[in-house]
Amino acid sequence: MTTGQVDFSVAGKVALVTGAASGIGRAISIRLAQAGSSLILIDIVDASDLAAELNATFIQCDVAREDQYAAAVKQAVALHGHIDILVNNAGISVSNESILDDSDAAYLRAFRVNTLGVVHGIRCVAPVMPTGSSIITISSLSSLVGAPLLGAYAASKAALAAVTRTSALELAPRGIRVNEVAPGAVRTAMNDSGAPFVERELAWVKAAGAFGRMAEPEEIAAVVHFLASDDCQMITGQTLVVDGGLTAGPSLGLLDALVEGDNK
């Protein structure tokens, strides 16, 4: 049975993307605009250059502040009447500490942006979404496997699976789907700091990932496009892992290296 477009079309849709100024959010914005959606770009930093490039609207907003988020959605609705696609992408990487040394402040900061920022998005945007709309949250692989020295970040992302599943069930009667994408390491500013936990993560991806490399932001954007389209109407409440096979098991390269090490 065909229930919508059969070509993963998002043409003519109105999409709101948070954290649009850089990295994955920027790639998602470009992809959806190229696919024919009208874009509302939200970020705490200026993204008006990208908005001009994409013929989009930029609204400066801190997703952790529900009052600012509500005002941004009001502005978007005044322009477009409704929103079809919400991409909860804005996020921050906090701390580089063992759970023994980490502070409550780091946990609260992570939860305010990474978890409550998403809750605010769903709360403010779902009421202006027509049936057939799609909400996609960018979670993280660190929510599914242990992430040494990234406890606050990982915990704030793990909470998103519950938010995704619960809101998927609550919003299904309104015809709104809710899913999350959990990327492994992606080549963005977040992985550019040279911090010890980043170095370790990249070494892990190289040694143990089936493809031995980070994802490009565009490869995450493609998955978001897929989940946003009308062809995905039976997918809701799911976590789609995009990690280049990292959690499928150890790579052949890693196993060979281990055997070689044992035989020395």
Ligand X SMILES: NC(=O)c1ccc[n+]([C@@H]2O[C@H](COP(=O)([O-])OP(=O)(O)OC[C@H]3O[C@@H](n4cnc5c(N)ncnc54)[C@H](O)[C@@H]3O)[C@@H](O)[C@H]2O)c1
The answer to whether 37 contacts ligand X (rule: CB under 6 A) is no
Stretch near ligand X under the rule CB under 6 A, chosen from 38-46, 50-58, 71-79, 231-239: 38-46
- Cα-only R_g, the chain: 19
Minimum distance, C-beta of residue 11 to ligand X, in the bound complex (Å):
25
Residue of the chain from 13, 18, 86, 209 that contacts ligand X (CB under 6 A): 18
Of 58, 69, 153, 197, catalytic: 153
Task: Quote the least distance from Cβ 101 to ligand X, whole Å.
Answer: 22
155 binds ligand X (CB under 6 A): no
Told to check if 91 binds ligand X by CB under 6 A, we report yes
153 is catalytic: yes
- The count of chain residues that interact with ligand X, using the rule CB under 6 A, is 28
256 Cβ neighbours under 8 A, 6+ residues apart: none
Residue 186 in the binding site for ligand X (CB under 6 A)? yes
Residue 19 within binding range of ligand X, rule CB under 6 A: yes
Alpha-carbon gap, residue 218 to 224, rounded angstroms: 10
Min separation Cβ 133 and ligand X, Å: 21
If the CB atoms of residues 43 and 84 are measured against ligand X, the closer one turns out to be 43
Exactly one of 29, 37, 191, 236 binds ligand X (CB under 6 A); that residue is 191
> Is 56 a residue that touches ligand X (CB under 6 A)?
no
- Does residue 24 belong to the site contacting ligand X (CB under 6 A)? yes
Q: Would you name the residues annotated as active-site residues?
A: 153
Site residues for ligand X per CB under 6 A: 18-19, 21-25, 43-45, 62-64, 89-92, 113, 117, 138, 140, 183, 185-186, 188-191
